[in-house]
Amino acid sequence: MRLWLRLLTCANLIEAGIRRRLRAQFGITLPRFDLMAQLDRMAEGISLGELSRRMMVTNGNVTTIVDALVAQGLVARTPAPADRRTVLVRLTPEGRRHFRAMAMAYEGWIVDIFADLNPFEIDRLMALLGKAKESAAQALDDP
């Protein structure tokens, strides 16, 4: 029980800090940044459904965030060639430029945030969180 509270506290603390910096330094919100991060690796564009799966949020949520980013000219919607139901989303050249600049700063923040952990501790934490994730996924699957 205390483990869960600490996990949540830790994640929320870092998330709040990153959110604050993204807003202060780049005027962007965290979910928009996260969505752009997914798109940065997919030059050809990916579907909204695939986006929502990767980001682990609902379809409707992705639609809203993409709407906002399209309005800002940072991403573009294009119909999928094969399937008329699906819509592909990709970064615009301007969106890519913006994202690259932000991503550089972002990585620096993360390094700073975990600066007090040595490589061994990071590996161990990765492994334990991986195991916790598996355990949780299994427990939450059935009901």
Partner DNA sequence: TCGATTTGTTTTAGATTTGAAATATCCATG
Partner DNA sequence: CATGGATATTTCAAATCTAAAACAAATCGA
x/- binding map, residues 118-137, to a copy of itself, per CB under 8 A? Answer: ---xx-xxx-xxxxxxxxxx
Number of residues that bind DNA (CB under 7 A): 32
104 interacts with a copy of itself by CB under 8 A:
no
CA 13 to chain centroid: 16
3 interacts with a copy of itself by CB under 8 A:
yes
Tell me how far apart the alpha carbons of residues 143 and 140 are, in angstroms, rounded to a whole number: 7
x/- binding map, residues 2-41, to DNA, per CB under 7 A? Answer: --------------x--xx--x-----xxxx---------
1 interacts with a copy of itself by CB under 8 A:
yes
58 interacts with DNA by CB under 7 A:
yes
Residue selected from 14, 37, 38, 47 as contacting DNA according to rule CB under 7 A: 47
Q: Would you state the structure tokens that stand for residue 61, as one six-digit string?
A: 């949520």
**Residue 56 beta carbon to DNA: minimum distance, rounded to whole angstroms:** 7
**Residue 83 beta carbon to a copy of itself: minimum distance, rounded to whole angstroms:** 28
Residue closer to DNA, measured from CB, 8 or 110:
8
Tell me how far apart the alpha carbons of residues 139 and 143 are, in angstroms, rounded to a whole number: 8
Report, in angstroms and rounded to the nearest whole number, the Rg of the chain calculated over CA atoms: 18
Element of type H or E holding 76: strand 75-79
Residue 52 near residue 59 (C-beta atoms within 8 A) = yes
H-state helical runs in 41-115: 48-55, 59-71, 93-113
Strand partners, 76: 90
Binding stretches for DNA (CB under 7 A)? 16, 19-20, 23, 29-32, 47-50, 56-66, 68, 77, 80, 83-88
